[in-house]
Amino acid sequence: MNTPQNHSKSRRQDLQGIRGIAIISVLSFHFLPQIFPNGYIGVDQFGFLYLFNIFLFSSDRVQ
């Protein structure tokens, strides 16, 4: 069973960076819509990350 300590070691830093960019784009869209009108792209990034994580989880279970 994964403990919180083991789980934090297995996090991929590249995916954390993409998640950070998605968060910044969504927040920019909500707080500065005149300057950053395309913040909805961050929602698409979250969807991509979600599907990518599901793919990784299912491919690990198959092997």
pLDDT of residue 17: 87
Q: What pTM was computed for the model?
A: 0.65
- CA–CA separation, 20 and 41 (whole Å): 13
Compute the average pLDDT of residues 4-15. 64
Q: Quick check: helix, strand or coil at residue 35?
A: coil
Runs of H (alpha helix) within the chain: 4-9, 13-31, 41-62
For 18, residues 6+ apart whose C-beta sits below 8 A from its C-beta are 45, 49
pLDDT of residue 31: 92
